Amino acid sequence: MSPDLPYTRYLAPDGRSVVELPTWADDFNLLTRLYRQMVLTRLFDQKAVALQRTGRIGTYAPTLGQEAIGVATGSLMQADDVLVPYYRDTAVQLMRGVRMEEILLYWGGDERGSDFVDPRAVRDFPICVPIATQALHACGVATAFKIRGEHRVAVTTCGDGATSKGDFLEALNVAGAWQLPVVFVVNDNQWAISVPRRIQCGAPTLAQKAIGAGIHGEQVDGNDILAVCDRMRQALARARHGKGPVLLECLSYRLGDHTTADDATRYRCAEEVRQAWEEEPVKRLRAFLASQGVWDEGREQALIADCQAEVQRAVEAFEAAGVQPLSSVFEHVYARWPSALGEQRETLEERLVRRQGGECHE
């Protein structure tokens, strides 16, 4: 059964408006800034995949096709809100001020990549890989905001597959029971690795999972940044002003492989992917901006060159960071040292001393 939940779309895949646009959509400075950020995210994403292919970082989860969701979310959160992200969140992390070199360090297996420098991101959580557990962490953060009487929001993201997990449903439940200032952004990109959305869950929408928890849920076209911004703005305002949590299901498509360790051609057909490319978010906003006379090929080329230079600078900063000493594997794990770990560290130090040149990088 499908309850009558709202679904919002402003722009068709060709960039034409399908309903009257919100008034803020006249702000072309804002829209071109959002567009720049989407292009920057995509170029960075391509570079991250290339760095994995050449062995300079480990596994990476591409964000290709999810740029509108993350850029919209990041553009509307306030600096003192807290982001509790998952692993396909390059777009929103960049909006929060996480540096590209930090993202590369993280995927290169270096803890310094989760030690964000930018003040906007400093209280944000690191990427969460265990599926859906971050939804509960976000409820913990939101509970603290509520107890302290602060008008801040915890924003947490996850995929469609994550909504099948107990952790997600428990998080919705506690958010509803305690009316927490939390927004759940579900990136419904149609696939959970090789499992398609239609066999993940019997409900016609994922947004309706909110109903059982007594919270507000709705769907939005996740390829339409105007729609995501509009609904995200409402969701944040609602949560911030004590009116309860929101589940925003953003319908999108994972255009890339699940991660660089995956080959999606083994389980989904080329025609489906070709159709999904017709809907993709970057082209859609570009077509809208062009139709309004504020974008053209010259601006596009200049933007790409500018973003590529920014990505290149980040790659250089990443490479200049060097490799951490081996002993760093012991750091930041325990406040008080378990004795077994102390022995392991001593053994490592002895071995390093025995090797010529002292500290080595294996």
Ligand X SMILES: Cc1ncc(C[n+]2csc(CCOP(=O)(O)OP(=O)(O)O)c2C)c(N)n1
DSSP string, 138-191: HHHHHHHHHHHT----EEEEEETGGGGSHHHHHHHHHHHHTT-SEEEEEEE-SE
Integer-rounded Cα Rg, in Å, for the chain is: 21
Phi-psi map region of 214: left, alpha, beta (phi>0 left; psi -120 to 50 alpha) = left
**Beta strands 216-221; 246-251: pairing state:** parallel
314's CB contacts (< 8 A; 6+ apart) are 44, 99, 100, 101, 104
Regarding 284 and contact with ligand X (CB under 6 A), the answer is no
130, 148 contact by CB (below 8 A): no
Closer to ligand X by CB, 69 or 282: give it. 69
* Annotated catalytic residue 216: no
Q: Which stretch binds ligand X (CB under 6 A): 11-19, 24-32, 111-119, 190-198?
A: 190-198
Instruction: Determine which residue in the list 42, 88, 96, 152 makes contact with ligand X, applying CB under 6 A.
Output: 88
Q: Among the options 216, 254, 284, 286, which is catalytic? A: 254
Residue count (the chain): 362
154 binds, among Mg ion, ligand X, none (CB under 5 to 8 A by kind): none
Contacts with Mg ion by CB under 5 A lie at 159-160, 189, 191-192
> In this chain, which residue has its C-beta nearest to ligand X?
159
Regarding 248 and contact with ligand X (CB under 6 A), the answer is no
* Annotated catalytic residue 284: no
Helix (H) / strand (E) containing 313: helix 297-320
Closer to ligand X by CB, 193 or 304: give it. 193
Regarding 159 and contact with ligand X (CB under 6 A), the answer is yes
Applying CB under 6 A, what is the total number of residues that bind ligand X?
16
Q: How far is the CB of 217 from ligand X (least distance, A)?
A: 17
Phi-psi map region of 105: left, alpha, beta (phi>0 left; psi -120 to 50 alpha) = alpha
Closer to Mg ion by CB, 65 or 159: give it. 159
**Beta strands 182-188; 191-192: pairing state:** unpaired
Which of the residues 109 through 138 are near ligand X (CB under 6 A)? 129-131
Closer to ligand X by CB, 67 or 101: give it. 67
Instruction: Determine which residue in the list 73, 134, 187, 205 makes contact with ligand X, applying CB under 6 A.
Output: 187
153 binds, among ligand X, Mg ion, none (CB under 5 to 8 A by kind): none
* Residue type (1 letter), 131: I
Instruction: Determine which residue in the list 254, 255, 282, 314 makes contact with ligand X, applying CB under 6 A.
Output: 254
Q: How far is the CB of 159 from ligand X (least distance, A)?
A: 2
Q: Among the options 53, 267, 313, 332, which is catalytic? A: 267
Strands of the sheet containing 182-188, edge to edge, are 7-8, 216-221, 246-251, 182-188, 154-159, 82-84
Q: How far is the CB of 158 from Mg ion (least distance, A)?
A: 9
Regarding 160 and contact with ligand X (CB under 6 A), the answer is yes
Going 24 to 30 to 35 to 37, the CA torsion angle's sign is negative
Q: What are phi and psi of 186, to 5 degrees?
A: -100, 115
**Distance in angstroms (rounded) separating the CA atoms of residues 180 and 14:** 38
Q: How far is the CB of 99 from Mg ion (least distance, A)?
A: 26
Q: Which stretch binds ligand X (CB under 6 A): 24-32, 135-143, 156-164, 310-318?
A: 156-164
Regarding 193 and contact with ligand X (CB under 6 A), the answer is yes
CA torsion, ordered 85, 91, 95, 96, to nearest 10 deg: 20
Closer to ligand X by CB, 50 or 193: give it. 193
Closer to ligand X by CB, 57 or 315: give it. 57
130 binds, among ligand X, Mg ion, none (CB under 5 to 8 A by kind): ligand X
Phi-psi map region of 109: left, alpha, beta (phi>0 left; psi -120 to 50 alpha) = left
Closer to ligand X by CB, 165 or 283: give it. 165
Three-state SS at 114: helix
* Annotated catalytic residue 334: no
Regarding 258 and contact with ligand X (CB under 6 A), the answer is yes
**Binding-site ranges for ligand X (CB under 6 A):** 88, 129-131, 158-162, 187, 189, 191-193, 254, 258
Question: Active-site positions?
Answer: 254, 258, 267
